[in-house]
Structure 1
Amino acid sequence: MTALAPSPTLSETTRTTPGAGWLLRLHRPALYLWIGAVAVLAVVLLWLGGPLTDSAATAWREYDKSCDTGGSCRYDQDSIVRYKDVYAYTTAALTALPFVVAAWAGAALFGRELEHGTAQLAWTQNLSPTRWLTTKLIVPAVLVTAGTGLLVALHRVMWTAGDGRIDTADAWYANLTLHANGPTTVAFALTGLAGGALAGVLLRRTLPALTLALACVAALRFLADQLMPHLWPAVTQVTSLADGYRGSGLNVDSGLVTATGAHIADPGCGSTIVAGCKTVYADLDATGFYTTYHPESHYWPLQLTTTALVLAVAAALAVTAFVLLKRSTAAPARVRTEAAA
């Protein structure tokens, strides 16, 4: 295996190409790893959405035909298990990408260079701090958006191929699938990049910057999950006590409806088929159940509103990084100017 050529020294690269070329050469191993990871995941997703989905769907048809009718229950169980396993691994890998981007941005892209003085050396030549940070954000942002966007598109194609054909396939509102199928994953990855920039500029140490960048993505992911159901008007369906709950989708709220139309908490008794539940509901003056949820038709409104919110946070993190960098470099520059005078 041929060894990689050593990266040009900082002085050489900043004198010649203080832009995208300099950044790509300086972080060449990370670029190769990113391209390789995207390529591998893309191939696996294509395999999953094609042959694996077809074989699993065939196995489910065999199961429904023989087992449900009291037959000998002969079907290809291995195909079903294989599809489920590969789906789980690829979806988890796509979910982890924003955290990988955050860790790399906080540790290698910003924290390490500021800790070791590489960035400060570049600023003494023909690369200003603002241009340094701009280049380090724009070039990776393009690569992260392109790679993550491609994988999200392939994941959605793969999921659509199995929707309605594979009985154990994840519903559209399952948490990991919900984000892996849409642009929120791309927005989380860009937040990881911006969070890494802010963490590096703020802390100027590798491991603390890595930790803070990961915490930014984790916190934003948690908040996005909590806010997403409330970013678009939901649908409320009311059913009788005998029918129980109805409505399938991203759940927002559920409970009992009283005779006055008020919504109250469900004591968890069940439908009126369960012995004693009629008395429980009579004491509560309950007349039915309500379910507030988002049907599948709300998928894109939910995705787009959440993506816009996450991108706004990413932009705020990036702007804060620029402000902090400008403040931290302005004072030393002023001191040097006064000393020279």
Structure 2
Amino acid sequence: MSNLAGTPAAMATGSNTQNGAAASPTANRRPRLSGLNWLVWRQHRAGFWTVLALTAVCVAWLVYQRSVLMDQLLAQGWPHSSPDTWLKGEHPQRFQLVGFGLGFIPVVLGVFLGAPLLAGDLENGTAKLVASQSVSPSRWLATKLGISGLVVVVCTGALSVAFGRWWGPVKYTSTALDWSDGAAFDNTGPVPVALALFTVVGGVAIGMLLRRTLMSMVVTFAFAVAVQVVWHFQRLNLGHVLTVTTRQGISSDAFPRTPQAALEIDHWYISGSGRTYGWGTCAHEVSEKACVQKFDLVGWKVDYLPISQMSSMQWFGASILFALTAAVTVFIFVRGRKRIV
């Protein structure tokens, strides 16, 4: 493989020598892939270029949408006017649809980039050729994973920044995306990068074990969906729930105030002894006054997550996913060194 990887460079050198023309300093300074890096890129260039091109188009569209949004917000007196008047037309629905679409990116990358990465080589015999060359299996795996991981990080990171800048001016409003919803939480900060990396590396491991491309893609799809489902149900557990209480009665005017854009987890009635009752306790009572007297209700208790915890929750969750990705990567190298063909 090392001989094949070095062929273009050797041919270029021989041609220049025969023609008697020395390479210019500018040409020598031009960055070029060579050796194993060039070979891996060329082998998977169709997938890499497709992902990069689609990312460039999506980022350009998100930048345009931000400019349209800012024009609309400034026309409504942003940021000094009432937030309820900021978003009109199709923008709230557009946020939801785009966020929902971006949520499929880790699944798509895992199925079409991660699963075939090693499964294709093991199925068509390329891995045997690698084992017969001077390149070690560890270096081959490192190059494969390194270039693929770099493409994934660049693309998902760019989309995260672009979507975050589009949604950022209205993240505190009730008419835009809820910050705890997957459409916002999973598409900003480090979360999309971590989810995509874990799904892709998981797909690579599945492909290495199954050694069949199509079967690996199907199993990786199931794995990616399972990751999304587990992440969905565990997302709110990444934060530290705060509590606010009042003892000024149970009327709507006495309900506790939470910080702007805070996510209300649950709320209860509080009795004079400090005991809590579900918010539906008075639903079957004769009157609210009778319910207050019966249970000695004096106020409310509300559990909530403030939007100020969003960044820390994202980094905490991403660190877990990065650790899992590292563990799967170690498994790939350990198994790959022992049994690559």
Same fold (TM over 0.5): yes
Match of 2:111 among 95, 98, 103: 103
- Displacement, 1:31? 1.5
- Alpha-carbon distance, 1:320 to partner: 1.9
CA contact (8 A) 2:55 2:155 kept: yes
Deviates more, 1:51-60 or 1:202-211: 51-60
**2:243 is aligned with 1:236:** yes
Instruction: Give the conservation status (yes or no) of the 8 Å contact 1:196–1:213.
Output: yes
Residues 1:171 and 2:171 are matched in the alignment: no
Contact 2:116 2:216 in 1 (8 A): no
The secondary structure found in structure 2 opposite 1:126 is coil
Residue 27 (1) aligns with residue 44 (2): yes
Query: 2:118·2:208 contact (CA, 8 Å) conserved in 1?
Result: yes
Q: 1:1-341 maps to which residues of 2 (within 5 A)?
A: 12-13=4-5, 17-55=34-72, 58=75, 80-163=88-171, 168-239=175-246, 240-242=249-251, 243-244=254-255, 246-247=257-258, 248-267=261-280, 276-280=287-291, 283-284=294-295, 286-329=297-340
Closer, same or farther in 2 for the Cα pair 1:251/1:15, shift >3 Å?
Answer: farther
Quote the RMSD (CA, aligned, Å): 3.4
Deviation at 1:21, TM superposition (A): 1.3
Go from structure 1 to structure 2 and tell me whether the alpha carbon gap of 1:300 and 1:52 turns closer, same or farther (over 3 Å shift): closer
Between the two proteins, the alignment pairs up a number of residues equal to 307
Does the residue aligned with 2:104 lie in a helix, a strand or coil?
A: helix
Provide the rounded CA distance (Å) in 2 between the counterparts of 1:182 and 1:287: 41
CA contact (8 A) 1:49 1:162 kept: no
Q: 1:285 to 1:53 in 2, by over 3 A?
A: same
**4+ runs deviating over 6 angstroms:** none
Where structure 1 has 5 or more consecutive residues not aligned to the other structure, the ranges are 1-8, 69-74, 333-341
**1:104/1:204 CA distance change after superposition, 3 Å:** same
CA offsets 1:83-140 (integer angstroms, 9 cap, x no match):
3454334323322211111012343212222222222322222333222221111111
Whether the 8 Å CA contact 1:106–1:195 is kept in 2: the answer is: yes
- CA separation of 1:283/1:60 partners in 2, compared to 1, >3 Å: closer, same or farther? farther
Give the C-alpha shift of residue 206 in structure 1: 1.5
- Report the Cα distance in structure 1 between the residues aligned to 2:315 and 2:50, rounded to whole angstroms: 30
Q: Distance in 1 between matches of 2:90 and 2:2?
A: 48
Shift, 1:19, TM fit: 2.3
1:40-60 alpha-carbon deviations (Å, 9 max, x no partner): 111111111112442366479
The code of the aligned residue for 2:107 comes to F
The TM-score normalised by the length of structure 2 is: 0.77
Q: Which moves more between the two structures, 283-292 or 111-120?
A: 283-292
Shift in Å, 1:252:
3.8
| C-alpha distance in 2 between matches for 1:262 and 1:315 | 46
Alignment partner of 1:236: what SS? strand
Matching residue's letter, 1:299: M
2:331 maps to amino acid = T
The amino acid that maps onto 1:292 is D
SS in 2 for 1:81: coil
Counterparts of 2:193 and 2:174 in 1: how far apart (Å)? Answer: 29
Contact 1:232 1:302 in 2 (8 A): yes
TM-aligned CA deviation for residue 283 of structure 1: 4.8
Counterpart AA for 1:142: L
**Alpha-carbon contact 2:92-2:177 (below 8 Å) kept:** no
Cα deviation digits, residues 281-302 of structure 1 (max 9, x gap) = 6555544332212111111111
Q: What SS does structure 2 have at the residue aligned with 1:291?
A: strand
